[in-house]
Structure 1
Protein backbone atom coordinates (compact mmCIF):
# COMPACT_ATOMS: atom_id res chain seq x y z
CA UNK A 1 0.00 0.00 0.00
CA UNK A 2 1.45 3.35 -1.03
CA UNK A 3 1.87 6.02 1.63
CA UNK A 4 -0.21 9.17 1.34
CA UNK A 5 2.03 12.15 2.05
CA UNK A 6 1.02 15.77 2.49
CA UNK A 7 4.03 17.45 0.87
CA UNK A 8 3.27 20.95 2.17
CA UNK A 9 1.99 22.12 5.55
CA UNK A 10 3.04 24.49 8.33
CA UNK A 11 3.31 24.73 12.12
CA UNK A 12 3.56 27.86 14.22
CA UNK A 13 3.23 29.40 17.64
CA UNK A 14 1.14 32.38 16.57
CA UNK A 15 2.90 35.72 17.03
CA UNK A 16 0.88 38.72 15.75
CA UNK A 17 3.99 40.80 15.10
CA UNK A 18 6.08 38.16 13.34
CA UNK A 19 3.03 36.67 11.60
CA UNK A 20 1.59 39.96 10.37
CA UNK A 21 0.85 38.27 7.04
CA UNK A 22 -2.05 36.55 8.85
CA UNK A 23 -4.43 39.48 8.49
CA UNK A 24 -7.73 39.97 10.32
CA UNK A 25 -9.70 38.46 7.44
CA UNK A 26 -7.77 35.25 8.24
CA UNK A 27 -8.85 35.19 11.90
CA UNK A 28 -9.48 31.46 11.75
CA UNK A 29 -5.70 30.88 11.65
CA UNK A 30 -4.68 33.56 14.16
CA UNK A 31 -3.72 30.90 16.72
CA UNK A 32 -1.18 28.17 17.36
CA UNK A 33 -1.02 25.22 14.97
CA UNK A 34 1.18 22.40 16.21
CA UNK A 35 1.77 18.71 15.41
CA UNK A 36 -0.78 17.60 18.00
CA UNK A 37 -3.38 19.66 16.11
CA UNK A 38 -2.52 18.12 12.76
CA UNK A 39 -2.21 14.46 13.83
CA UNK A 40 -5.97 13.79 14.17
CA UNK A 41 -6.67 15.68 10.93
CA UNK A 42 -4.23 13.49 9.00
CA UNK A 43 -5.68 10.36 10.59
CA UNK A 44 -9.25 11.38 9.71
CA UNK A 45 -8.21 11.95 6.10
CA UNK A 46 -6.11 8.77 5.68
CA UNK A 47 -2.85 10.69 5.29
CA UNK A 48 0.24 8.86 6.57
CA UNK A 49 2.75 11.66 6.93
CA UNK A 50 3.69 15.20 6.00
CA UNK A 51 6.47 17.61 5.10
CA UNK A 52 6.64 20.67 7.36
CA UNK A 53 7.60 23.81 5.44
CA UNK A 54 8.97 27.05 6.88
CA UNK A 55 6.67 30.05 7.26
CA UNK A 56 9.13 32.40 8.97
CA UNK A 57 12.53 33.41 7.59
CA UNK A 58 14.79 32.53 10.50
CA UNK A 59 17.03 29.66 11.51
CA UNK A 60 14.95 29.48 14.71
CA UNK A 61 12.07 28.42 12.49
CA UNK A 62 14.18 25.61 11.03
CA UNK A 63 15.12 24.34 14.50
CA UNK A 64 11.47 24.60 15.62
CA UNK A 65 10.33 22.42 12.70
CA UNK A 66 13.16 19.94 13.26
CA UNK A 67 12.10 19.55 16.89
CA UNK A 68 8.54 18.87 15.74
CA UNK A 69 9.84 16.24 13.32
CA UNK A 70 12.01 14.67 16.00
CA UNK A 71 9.08 14.36 18.41
CA UNK A 72 6.43 13.24 15.88
CA UNK A 73 7.14 10.38 13.51
CA UNK A 74 4.41 11.45 11.06
CA UNK A 75 6.43 14.60 10.27
CA UNK A 76 8.60 12.85 7.68
CA UNK A 77 10.65 15.81 6.49
CA UNK A 78 11.34 19.51 6.97
CA UNK A 79 11.87 22.31 4.44
CA UNK A 80 13.58 24.98 6.50
CA UNK A 81 15.07 28.41 6.02
CA UNK A 82 18.68 29.54 5.97
CA UNK A 83 20.04 32.79 4.58
CA UNK A 84 21.14 31.57 1.16
CA UNK A 85 22.69 35.01 0.54
CA UNK A 86 25.04 34.74 3.53
CA UNK A 87 28.79 34.74 3.02
CA UNK A 88 29.07 31.76 5.40
CA UNK A 89 26.37 29.71 3.67
CA UNK A 90 28.65 26.70 3.13
CA UNK A 91 29.34 26.49 6.87
CA UNK A 92 25.64 26.83 7.75
CA UNK A 93 24.67 24.07 5.34
CA UNK A 94 27.40 21.83 6.72
CA UNK A 95 25.94 22.43 10.18
CA UNK A 96 22.43 21.50 9.03
CA UNK A 97 23.60 18.47 7.07
CA UNK A 98 23.66 16.41 10.27
CA UNK A 99 19.86 16.74 10.55
CA UNK A 100 18.43 13.66 8.85
CA UNK A 101 14.87 14.97 8.58
CA UNK A 102 15.97 18.28 7.05
CA UNK A 103 15.36 17.76 3.35
CA UNK A 104 15.71 21.22 1.85
CA UNK A 105 15.16 24.95 2.10
CA UNK A 106 12.84 27.69 0.96
CA UNK A 107 12.95 31.47 0.73
CA UNK A 108 9.76 33.58 0.60
CA UNK A 109 10.61 34.97 -2.82
CA UNK A 110 6.99 36.04 -3.40
CA UNK A 111 7.53 38.77 -0.78
CA UNK A 112 10.63 40.17 -2.51
CA UNK A 113 9.85 43.37 -4.48
CA UNK A 114 12.42 42.47 -7.12
CA UNK A 115 10.79 40.12 -9.62
CA UNK A 116 14.27 38.93 -10.62
CA UNK A 117 15.36 38.19 -7.03
CA UNK A 118 15.95 34.50 -7.84
CA UNK A 119 18.73 35.48 -10.23
CA UNK A 120 20.72 37.58 -7.75
CA UNK A 121 24.33 36.43 -7.66
CA UNK A 122 24.51 36.07 -3.87
CA UNK A 123 21.26 34.07 -3.80
CA UNK A 124 22.38 31.81 -6.65
CA UNK A 125 25.64 31.14 -4.82
CA UNK A 126 23.59 29.82 -1.92
CA UNK A 127 21.40 27.65 -4.14
CA UNK A 128 24.50 26.24 -5.82
CA UNK A 129 25.81 25.23 -2.37
CA UNK A 130 22.71 23.11 -1.66
CA UNK A 131 23.92 20.36 -4.00
CA UNK A 132 26.91 19.57 -1.77
CA UNK A 133 24.53 18.11 0.81
CA UNK A 134 21.79 16.98 -1.60
CA UNK A 135 19.28 19.50 -0.25
CA UNK A 136 16.15 20.39 -2.25
CA UNK A 137 14.86 23.90 -2.96
CA UNK A 138 11.19 24.99 -2.88
CA UNK A 139 10.31 27.85 -5.25
CA UNK A 140 7.65 30.16 -3.77
CA UNK A 141 6.67 32.85 -6.28
CA UNK A 142 3.81 34.76 -7.83
CA UNK A 143 3.08 34.52 -11.59
CA UNK A 144 4.84 37.85 -12.19
CA UNK A 145 8.08 36.20 -11.02
CA UNK A 146 7.85 33.22 -13.38
CA UNK A 147 10.11 34.78 -16.05
CA UNK A 148 12.89 34.69 -13.44
CA UNK A 149 12.00 31.08 -12.58
CA UNK A 150 12.39 30.14 -16.26
CA UNK A 151 16.02 31.29 -16.17
CA UNK A 152 16.62 30.04 -12.62
CA UNK A 153 15.75 26.41 -13.35
CA UNK A 154 18.11 26.41 -16.33
CA UNK A 155 20.97 27.65 -14.13
CA UNK A 156 20.69 24.62 -11.84
CA UNK A 157 20.06 21.55 -14.01
CA UNK A 158 21.22 19.12 -11.30
CA UNK A 159 19.30 20.72 -8.40
CA UNK A 160 16.03 19.13 -7.23
CA UNK A 161 13.49 21.96 -7.50
CA UNK A 162 9.77 22.14 -6.77
CA UNK A 163 7.34 24.98 -7.46
CA UNK A 164 5.07 25.60 -4.48
CA UNK A 165 1.34 26.18 -4.93
CA UNK A 166 1.51 25.99 -8.75
CA UNK A 167 3.06 29.50 -8.56
CA UNK A 168 -0.25 30.89 -7.28
CA UNK A 169 -2.14 31.40 -10.55
CA UNK A 170 -5.06 33.78 -10.92
CA UNK A 171 -7.96 31.45 -10.13
CA UNK A 172 -10.26 34.38 -9.29
CA UNK A 173 -10.01 36.02 -12.71
CA UNK A 174 -9.22 32.95 -14.79
CA UNK A 175 -6.30 34.84 -16.36
CA UNK A 176 -4.26 31.82 -17.44
CA UNK A 177 -2.36 32.61 -20.66
CA UNK A 178 0.99 34.03 -19.41
CA UNK A 179 1.08 31.74 -16.37
CA UNK A 180 0.46 28.68 -18.55
CA UNK A 181 3.15 29.64 -21.06
CA UNK A 182 5.72 30.04 -18.31
CA UNK A 183 4.76 26.84 -16.51
CA UNK A 184 5.00 24.85 -19.75
CA UNK A 185 8.44 26.28 -20.41
CA UNK A 186 9.63 25.57 -16.85
CA UNK A 187 8.28 22.01 -16.99
CA UNK A 188 10.56 21.26 -19.94
CA UNK A 189 13.33 21.02 -17.33
CA UNK A 190 12.92 17.46 -15.99
CA UNK A 191 14.42 18.27 -12.56
CA UNK A 192 11.53 20.64 -11.71
CA UNK A 193 8.43 19.35 -9.89
CA UNK A 194 5.17 21.07 -8.96
CA UNK A 195 3.16 21.04 -5.74
CA UNK A 196 -0.57 20.98 -6.32
CA UNK A 197 -1.21 22.95 -3.15
CA UNK A 198 -2.41 26.30 -1.91
CA UNK A 199 -5.18 26.50 -4.50
CA UNK A 200 -8.21 27.42 -2.40
CA UNK A 201 -6.50 30.34 -0.69
CA UNK A 202 -5.86 31.96 -4.08
CA UNK A 203 -9.51 31.53 -5.10
CA UNK A 204 -12.70 33.13 -3.78
CA UNK A 205 -12.65 31.78 -0.21
CA UNK A 206 -16.43 31.56 0.13
CA UNK A 207 -17.53 30.77 -3.41
CA UNK A 208 -14.88 28.57 -5.05
CA UNK A 209 -15.94 25.53 -7.02
CA UNK A 210 -13.77 22.66 -8.31
CA UNK A 211 -14.41 23.87 -11.86
CA UNK A 212 -12.47 27.07 -11.07
CA UNK A 213 -9.25 25.08 -10.85
CA UNK A 214 -9.66 22.60 -13.71
CA UNK A 215 -8.09 24.67 -16.53
CA UNK A 216 -5.03 25.34 -14.36
CA UNK A 217 -4.75 21.73 -13.19
CA UNK A 218 -5.01 20.62 -16.82
CA UNK A 219 -1.94 22.75 -17.64
CA UNK A 220 0.07 21.34 -14.74
CA UNK A 221 -0.89 17.74 -15.52
CA UNK A 222 -0.06 18.15 -19.20
CA UNK A 223 3.20 20.02 -18.58
CA UNK A 224 4.69 18.19 -15.61
CA UNK A 225 2.95 14.84 -15.96
CA UNK A 226 1.67 12.82 -12.98
CA UNK A 227 5.22 11.75 -12.09
CA UNK A 228 6.27 15.31 -11.16
CA UNK A 229 3.16 16.46 -9.27
CA UNK A 230 2.69 16.28 -5.49
CA UNK A 231 -0.28 16.76 -3.22
CA UNK A 232 0.03 19.43 -0.53
CA UNK A 233 -2.70 20.74 1.75
CA UNK A 234 -1.09 24.02 2.79
CA UNK A 235 -2.69 23.38 6.21
CA UNK A 236 -3.46 25.40 8.25
CA UNK A 237 -3.47 28.30 5.75
CA UNK A 238 -6.07 26.41 3.70
CA UNK A 239 -8.55 26.70 6.57
CA UNK A 240 -9.43 30.25 5.51
CA UNK A 241 -11.15 28.72 2.48
CA UNK A 242 -11.96 25.10 3.27
CA UNK A 243 -11.31 22.22 5.63
CA UNK A 244 -8.63 19.59 5.04
CA UNK A 245 -11.07 17.06 3.59
CA UNK A 246 -12.37 19.47 0.94
CA UNK A 247 -8.85 20.49 -0.03
CA UNK A 248 -7.73 16.89 -0.41
CA UNK A 249 -10.89 15.90 -2.31
CA UNK A 250 -10.35 18.74 -4.77
CA UNK A 251 -7.24 16.94 -6.02
CA UNK A 252 -8.27 13.31 -5.54
CA UNK A 253 -11.46 13.94 -7.53
CA UNK A 254 -9.50 15.66 -10.29
CA UNK A 255 -6.98 12.80 -10.66
CA UNK A 256 -9.54 9.99 -10.27
CA UNK A 257 -9.39 9.10 -13.98
CA UNK A 258 -5.62 8.50 -13.86
CA UNK A 259 -4.12 5.06 -13.28
CA UNK A 260 -3.74 3.80 -9.72
CA UNK A 261 0.04 4.14 -10.01
CA UNK A 262 -0.26 7.75 -11.19
CA UNK A 263 -2.67 8.60 -8.37
CA UNK A 264 -0.40 6.97 -5.77
CA UNK A 265 2.50 8.98 -7.17
CA UNK A 266 0.73 12.33 -6.89
CA UNK A 267 -0.68 11.56 -3.44
CA UNK A 268 2.57 10.41 -1.89
CA UNK A 269 5.19 8.45 -3.76
CA UNK A 270 6.47 11.45 -5.71
CA UNK A 271 7.02 13.37 -2.47
CA UNK A 272 8.82 10.35 -0.94
CA UNK A 273 11.15 10.20 -3.94
CA UNK A 274 11.70 13.95 -4.31
CA UNK A 275 12.43 14.62 -0.64
CA UNK A 276 13.97 11.19 0.01
CA UNK A 277 11.62 10.67 2.96
Structure 2
Protein backbone atom coordinates (compact mmCIF):
# COMPACT_ATOMS: atom_id res chain seq x y z
CA UNK A 1 0.00 0.00 0.00
CA UNK A 2 0.94 3.60 -0.56
CA UNK A 3 -0.10 5.82 2.34
CA UNK A 4 -0.29 9.57 2.84
CA UNK A 5 1.04 9.67 6.39
CA UNK A 6 -0.32 13.07 7.38
CA UNK A 7 -3.57 14.90 6.62
CA UNK A 8 -6.41 16.59 8.47
CA UNK A 9 -10.20 16.85 8.41
CA UNK A 10 -12.37 19.57 9.88
CA UNK A 11 -15.76 21.22 9.80
CA UNK A 12 -14.74 24.85 10.06
CA UNK A 13 -15.86 27.11 12.87
CA UNK A 14 -14.08 30.14 14.24
CA UNK A 15 -14.04 28.96 17.85
CA UNK A 16 -12.20 25.68 17.23
CA UNK A 17 -9.96 26.92 14.44
CA UNK A 18 -9.00 30.42 15.50
CA UNK A 19 -5.52 29.97 14.00
CA UNK A 20 -7.11 30.04 10.53
CA UNK A 21 -7.18 33.83 10.47
CA UNK A 22 -5.42 36.33 8.21
CA UNK A 23 -3.36 34.54 5.60
CA UNK A 24 -4.99 31.20 6.46
CA UNK A 25 -8.44 32.37 5.34
CA UNK A 26 -8.37 30.18 2.24
CA UNK A 27 -8.85 27.06 4.38
CA UNK A 28 -11.79 28.42 6.38
CA UNK A 29 -14.11 25.81 4.94
CA UNK A 30 -14.96 22.14 5.47
CA UNK A 31 -12.46 19.43 4.49
CA UNK A 32 -13.83 15.90 4.78
CA UNK A 33 -13.05 12.35 3.57
CA UNK A 34 -15.16 12.76 0.43
CA UNK A 35 -12.95 15.71 -0.55
CA UNK A 36 -9.70 13.83 0.03
CA UNK A 37 -10.61 10.48 -1.56
CA UNK A 38 -10.33 11.60 -5.22
CA UNK A 39 -6.97 13.23 -4.48
CA UNK A 40 -5.65 10.01 -2.98
CA UNK A 41 -6.83 8.00 -5.99
CA UNK A 42 -5.44 10.48 -8.53
CA UNK A 43 -2.03 10.37 -6.86
CA UNK A 44 -1.75 6.63 -6.38
CA UNK A 45 -2.44 6.37 -2.64
CA UNK A 46 -4.44 3.59 -1.03
CA UNK A 47 -5.20 5.55 2.10
CA UNK A 48 -4.06 8.07 4.68
CA UNK A 49 -3.46 8.81 8.35
CA UNK A 50 -5.87 11.39 9.78
CA UNK A 51 -4.13 13.64 12.32
CA UNK A 52 -5.77 15.79 14.99
CA UNK A 53 -6.29 19.50 14.38
CA UNK A 54 -8.09 20.30 17.65
CA UNK A 55 -6.85 19.61 21.17
CA UNK A 56 -9.93 17.91 22.54
CA UNK A 57 -11.20 14.42 23.26
CA UNK A 58 -14.13 15.23 20.95
CA UNK A 59 -11.62 15.52 18.09
CA UNK A 60 -10.33 12.02 18.79
CA UNK A 61 -13.86 10.61 18.91
CA UNK A 62 -14.83 12.38 15.68
CA UNK A 63 -11.77 11.22 13.74
CA UNK A 64 -12.30 7.64 14.93
CA UNK A 65 -15.93 7.82 13.82
CA UNK A 66 -14.79 8.94 10.36
CA UNK A 67 -12.20 6.16 10.21
CA UNK A 68 -14.90 3.60 11.02
CA UNK A 69 -16.96 4.84 8.05
CA UNK A 70 -14.26 5.46 5.43
CA UNK A 71 -11.93 2.56 4.66
CA UNK A 72 -9.29 4.83 3.11
CA UNK A 73 -8.56 6.26 6.58
CA UNK A 74 -6.03 3.68 7.71
CA UNK A 75 -5.44 5.16 11.14
CA UNK A 76 -5.94 8.13 13.43
CA UNK A 77 -3.45 10.23 15.37
CA UNK A 78 -5.71 11.75 17.98
CA UNK A 79 -5.35 13.85 21.11
CA UNK A 80 -5.49 13.03 24.79
CA UNK A 81 -4.37 15.26 27.63
CA UNK A 82 -0.94 13.79 28.30
CA UNK A 83 -0.40 16.24 31.16
CA UNK A 84 -3.58 15.28 32.97
CA UNK A 85 -3.69 13.12 36.11
CA UNK A 86 -6.62 11.47 34.28
CA UNK A 87 -4.41 10.29 31.40
CA UNK A 88 -4.79 6.61 32.28
CA UNK A 89 -8.58 6.89 32.27
CA UNK A 90 -8.50 8.67 28.91
CA UNK A 91 -6.25 6.02 27.43
CA UNK A 92 -8.46 3.25 28.79
CA UNK A 93 -11.35 4.89 26.95
CA UNK A 94 -9.65 5.32 23.57
CA UNK A 95 -6.36 3.44 23.61
CA UNK A 96 -7.72 0.02 22.63
CA UNK A 97 -9.58 1.28 19.57
CA UNK A 98 -7.93 -0.53 16.63
CA UNK A 99 -7.89 2.60 14.48
CA UNK A 100 -6.24 4.87 17.08
CA UNK A 101 -2.57 4.55 16.13
CA UNK A 102 -1.05 7.43 18.05
CA UNK A 103 -1.51 10.81 19.68
CA UNK A 104 -0.20 14.34 19.18
CA UNK A 105 0.02 17.60 21.09
CA UNK A 106 0.59 21.01 19.45
CA UNK A 107 3.88 21.53 21.26
CA UNK A 108 5.04 24.40 19.06
CA UNK A 109 2.20 26.57 20.39
CA UNK A 110 3.17 26.05 24.04
CA UNK A 111 4.80 29.09 25.68
CA UNK A 112 7.33 26.86 27.46
CA UNK A 113 10.04 25.78 24.98
CA UNK A 114 10.91 22.91 27.34
CA UNK A 115 7.32 21.61 27.40
CA UNK A 116 8.41 18.18 26.15
CA UNK A 117 10.51 17.69 29.28
CA UNK A 118 7.85 18.66 31.81
CA UNK A 119 7.31 15.91 34.36
CA UNK A 120 3.57 15.70 33.78
CA UNK A 121 4.04 15.47 29.99
CA UNK A 122 6.69 12.76 30.36
CA UNK A 123 4.34 10.84 32.65
CA UNK A 124 1.82 10.93 29.81
CA UNK A 125 4.38 9.67 27.31
CA UNK A 126 5.23 6.83 29.68
CA UNK A 127 1.57 5.75 29.61
CA UNK A 128 1.47 5.26 25.83
CA UNK A 129 3.53 2.07 25.71
CA UNK A 130 0.84 -0.01 27.43
CA UNK A 131 -1.53 0.72 24.53
CA UNK A 132 1.04 0.46 21.74
CA UNK A 133 0.47 4.08 20.75
CA UNK A 134 2.94 6.22 18.82
CA UNK A 135 3.61 9.93 19.38
CA UNK A 136 3.79 12.63 16.68
CA UNK A 137 6.25 15.45 17.44
CA UNK A 138 4.90 18.80 16.17
CA UNK A 139 7.80 21.19 16.69
CA UNK A 140 9.73 24.21 15.55
CA UNK A 141 13.50 23.86 15.05
CA UNK A 142 14.15 25.38 18.50
CA UNK A 143 12.44 22.38 20.11
CA UNK A 144 14.65 19.72 18.48
CA UNK A 145 17.21 19.49 21.32
CA UNK A 146 14.42 18.85 23.83
CA UNK A 147 12.86 16.27 21.50
CA UNK A 148 16.20 14.46 21.32
CA UNK A 149 16.40 14.38 25.11
CA UNK A 150 12.85 13.03 25.31
CA UNK A 151 13.53 10.32 22.72
CA UNK A 152 16.58 9.25 24.68
CA UNK A 153 14.56 8.97 27.87
CA UNK A 154 11.95 6.72 26.21
CA UNK A 155 13.89 4.36 23.92
CA UNK A 156 10.95 1.97 23.51
CA UNK A 157 8.46 4.70 22.56
CA UNK A 158 7.99 5.22 18.78
CA UNK A 159 8.16 8.91 17.86
CA UNK A 160 7.69 10.54 14.46
CA UNK A 161 8.71 14.10 13.66
CA UNK A 162 6.05 16.03 11.74
CA UNK A 163 6.92 18.40 8.88
CA UNK A 164 10.71 17.89 9.28
CA UNK A 165 10.38 20.35 12.23
CA UNK A 166 9.44 23.30 9.99
CA UNK A 167 12.83 24.74 8.97
CA UNK A 168 12.94 28.25 7.46
CA UNK A 169 12.78 27.17 3.82
CA UNK A 170 11.56 30.57 2.61
CA UNK A 171 14.85 32.15 3.76
CA UNK A 172 17.04 29.11 3.02
CA UNK A 173 17.75 28.66 6.72
CA UNK A 174 19.67 25.46 7.45
CA UNK A 175 21.43 25.75 10.81
CA UNK A 176 21.07 24.94 13.62
CA UNK A 177 18.11 22.93 12.27
CA UNK A 178 20.31 20.42 10.40
CA UNK A 179 22.66 19.80 13.31
CA UNK A 180 19.83 19.44 15.82
CA UNK A 181 17.90 17.19 13.44
CA UNK A 182 20.89 14.84 13.29
CA UNK A 183 20.93 14.65 17.09
CA UNK A 184 17.27 13.62 17.14
CA UNK A 185 17.69 11.16 14.27
CA UNK A 186 20.49 9.41 16.16
CA UNK A 187 17.76 7.74 18.22
CA UNK A 188 16.44 4.72 16.26
CA UNK A 189 12.95 5.03 17.79
CA UNK A 190 12.39 8.32 15.90
CA UNK A 191 10.94 8.51 12.37
CA UNK A 192 10.21 11.62 10.28
CA UNK A 193 7.43 12.75 7.95
CA UNK A 194 8.30 14.41 4.63
CA UNK A 195 5.40 16.82 4.99
CA UNK A 196 4.60 20.45 5.66
CA UNK A 197 7.42 21.81 3.52
CA UNK A 198 5.48 23.90 1.00
CA UNK A 199 4.00 26.10 3.73
CA UNK A 200 7.49 26.81 5.10
CA UNK A 201 8.55 28.00 1.63
CA UNK A 202 7.31 31.23 0.04
CA UNK A 203 3.64 30.46 -0.49
CA UNK A 204 2.79 29.75 -4.10
CA UNK A 205 6.19 30.98 -5.25
CA UNK A 206 8.53 28.04 -4.78
CA UNK A 207 10.39 25.61 -7.06
CA UNK A 208 11.04 21.95 -6.39
CA UNK A 209 14.79 22.62 -6.16
CA UNK A 210 14.14 24.86 -3.13
CA UNK A 211 13.53 21.70 -1.10
CA UNK A 212 16.52 19.64 -2.30
CA UNK A 213 18.95 20.62 0.45
CA UNK A 214 16.32 19.92 3.12
CA UNK A 215 15.45 16.54 1.65
CA UNK A 216 19.17 15.74 1.30
CA UNK A 217 19.65 16.55 4.99
CA UNK A 218 16.65 14.54 6.17
CA UNK A 219 17.66 11.48 4.14
CA UNK A 220 21.23 11.72 5.44
CA UNK A 221 19.92 11.86 9.01
CA UNK A 222 17.16 9.23 8.94
CA UNK A 223 17.81 7.12 5.85
CA UNK A 224 14.99 5.83 3.66
CA UNK A 225 14.09 3.29 6.38
CA UNK A 226 12.61 5.91 8.75
CA UNK A 227 10.96 8.44 6.43
CA UNK A 228 7.37 8.64 5.21
CA UNK A 229 5.62 10.84 2.67
CA UNK A 230 2.83 13.12 3.87
CA UNK A 231 0.77 15.87 2.29
CA UNK A 232 -0.39 17.91 5.30
CA UNK A 233 -3.60 18.40 3.29
CA UNK A 234 -5.53 20.68 3.41
CA UNK A 235 -2.99 23.05 5.00
CA UNK A 236 -0.69 22.44 2.03
CA UNK A 237 -3.24 24.04 -0.30
CA UNK A 238 -2.23 27.44 1.07
CA UNK A 239 0.97 27.12 -0.97
CA UNK A 240 0.34 24.45 -3.61
CA UNK A 241 -2.05 21.78 -4.82
CA UNK A 242 -2.15 18.30 -3.33
CA UNK A 243 -0.47 16.92 -6.45
CA UNK A 244 2.27 19.56 -6.47
CA UNK A 245 2.99 18.93 -2.80
CA UNK A 246 3.23 15.15 -3.14
CA UNK A 247 5.22 15.36 -6.38
CA UNK A 248 8.13 17.12 -4.64
CA UNK A 249 8.97 13.94 -2.73
CA UNK A 250 8.01 11.57 -5.55
CA UNK A 251 10.38 13.32 -7.95
CA UNK A 252 13.15 13.39 -5.37
CA UNK A 253 12.83 9.60 -5.04
CA UNK A 254 13.20 8.90 -8.78
CA UNK A 255 16.85 7.88 -8.49
CA UNK A 256 16.30 5.73 -5.40
CA UNK A 257 15.89 1.97 -5.50
CA UNK A 258 12.41 0.52 -5.86
CA UNK A 259 12.74 -0.84 -2.32
CA UNK A 260 13.56 2.58 -0.86
CA UNK A 261 10.75 4.26 -2.79
CA UNK A 262 8.32 1.65 -1.51
CA UNK A 263 9.40 2.28 2.08
CA UNK A 264 9.01 6.07 1.90
CA UNK A 265 5.74 5.96 -0.03
CA UNK A 266 4.01 3.55 2.32
CA UNK A 267 6.05 0.77 3.89
CA UNK A 268 7.49 2.81 6.74
CA UNK A 269 4.11 4.34 7.56
CA UNK A 270 2.50 0.89 7.62
CA UNK A 271 5.19 -0.44 9.97
CA UNK A 272 5.31 2.62 12.23
CA UNK A 273 1.57 2.92 12.75
CA UNK A 274 0.84 -0.81 12.63
CA UNK A 275 -1.53 -0.71 9.68
CA UNK A 276 -2.88 -4.13 8.73
CA UNK A 277 -5.11 -3.44 5.72
TM-score by length of 1: 0.98
Alpha-carbon distance, 1:17 to partner: 2.1
Alpha-carbon distance, 1:206 to partner: 2.1
| CA distance in 2: counterparts of 1:195 and 1:176, whole angstroms | 18
Q: Confirm or deny: 8 A CA contact 2:145 2:184 kept in the other structure.
A: no
Residue 104 (structure 2) pairs with residue 106 (structure 1): yes
Higher mean displacement: 24-33 or 232-241:
24-33
Where do 4+ consecutive residues of structure 1 move more than 6 Å?
Answer: none
Alpha-carbon distance, 1:40 to partner: 1.1
Alignment of 1:1-277 (within 5 A): 3-277=1-275
CA displacement 1:85-134 (0-9 Å, x = unmatched): 11021121121123110001000001001110000000000001000111
Q: Confirm or deny: 8 A CA contact 2:11 2:29 kept in the other structure.
A: yes
Q: Confirm or deny: 8 A CA contact 2:138 2:161 kept in the other structure.
A: yes
Q: Secondary structure at the match of 1:200?
A: coil
CA displacement 1:133-178 (0-9 Å, x = unmatched): 1100000000111121121111110000000000001101111120
Higher mean displacement: 120-129 or 19-28:
19-28
Higher mean displacement: 48-57 or 211-220:
211-220
Aligned residues between the structures: 275
CA displacement 1:175-222 (0-9 Å, x = unmatched): 112000011111110110000000001110121111111111111001
TM-score by length of 2: 0.98
Alpha-carbon distance, 1:257 to partner: 0.7
CA displacement 1:203-249 (0-9 Å, x = unmatched): 10121111111111111001100010000000000000111110111
Unaligned 5+ segments in structure 2 are: none
